[in-house]
Amino acid sequence: MSNLPRFETLLLSRRERCLTITFNRPDALNAVGGAMHHEIIEALAFAGQDAGSDVVVLTGAGRAFSAGGDVVRMQHFIDHPAEFEEEARNAKRLIFTLLDIEKPVIARVNGHAVGLGATIALFCDVVFAAESARIGDPHVAVGLVAGDGGAVIWPQLVGFARAKEFLMTGELLPAARAAEIGLINHAVPDEELDARVDAFCDRLLAGATNAIRWTKVTVNLELKRIAHALMDPGMAYETLSVHGDEHRRLVAAMVEKMKAKGRQ
């Protein structure tokens, strides 16, 4: 393990030639705060160049894969709107760092994948989710545009009509429903998740490494073209919504709800 980088919010581990990156803020349901947003980009960049692995797995510690955006961080950007420019740049870096990895990247969705958490999972090459997990992109629930990748990947997986329905309502889909409509590859019993992911990784590791990688690269060319076309305008619209009254009001309501729960 000594040759693996250490992070504040992530854990990296190896099983033979499989590298696992684990979101490690279980008390916050692995919400993507400031440190994690930077560190996941660094970890994925490392994974892409790591000579010790041929397959990468993304997963979460505890009950969730990732709950997406951190409400505290949302309030920070409301109070300091100019700082959202860096967040927008990092959003684009994250998506293209994921897309640029030649190795297969497998999402092990152990619990809810929400907002940016869902986006990260869906940009992986193959998604296995526990049946108890729910997946959705409720940016609209906090008055935001799903500009940090959701508007790119959902239509590619489920078509425009379904993508617009789910992105405009922010509905969280049970894993079985997500698999049924092609949003993810597999919904499996919770107790079988580890075995199913390990077996699939082993199947890839036993295959022709370069042929697998270059097949992925070829498929991703079109997805990268679409992402190049949509990420900048998507983040521009999301930035507008960050500065809007709807977002300010909805985040304030969430903060008050969190305070009320803390008093109980």
Local confidence pLDDT in tens for the 264 residues of the chain: 458 999 999 999 999 999 999 999 999 999 998 899 999 999 999 999 999 999 999 999 999 999 998 888 899 899 998 889 999 999 999 999 999 999 999 999 999 999 999 999 999 999 999 999 999 999 999 999 999 999 999 999 999 999 999 999 999 999 999 999 999 999 999 999 999 999 999 999 999 999 999 999 999 999 999 999 999 999 999 999 999 999 999 999 988 887 887 754
Q: 38-91 pLDDT, tens per residue?
A: 999 999 999 999 999 999 999 999 999 999 988 888 998 999 988 899 999 999
Q: What pLDDT sits at residue 1?
A: 43
pTM confidence score: 0.96
Q: What pLDDT sits at residue 264?
A: 46
Q: What pLDDT sits at residue 151?
A: 98
Instruction: For strands 112-114 and 64-66, give the pairing.
Output: parallel
The DSSP H or E segment spanning 203 is helix 193-205
**HSE on the CB side for 77, CA within 13 Å?**
23
What is the torsion angle, in degrees rounded to the nearest 10, for the CA atoms of residue 27, residue 18, residue 156 and residue 226?
100
List 19's β-bridge partners, or say none: 14, 56
Q: Calculate the CA 57 to chain-centre distance.
A: 12
User: Domains of the chain: which residue ranges?
Assistant: 10-193+202-263
Q: What pLDDT sits at residue 34?
A: 83
Q: For residue 104, what are its two tokens?
A: 């297969």
| CATH no. for 10-193+202-263 | 3.90.226.10
Rounded Cα distance, 86 and 100, in Å: 21
Indicate the SS3 state at residue 64.
strand
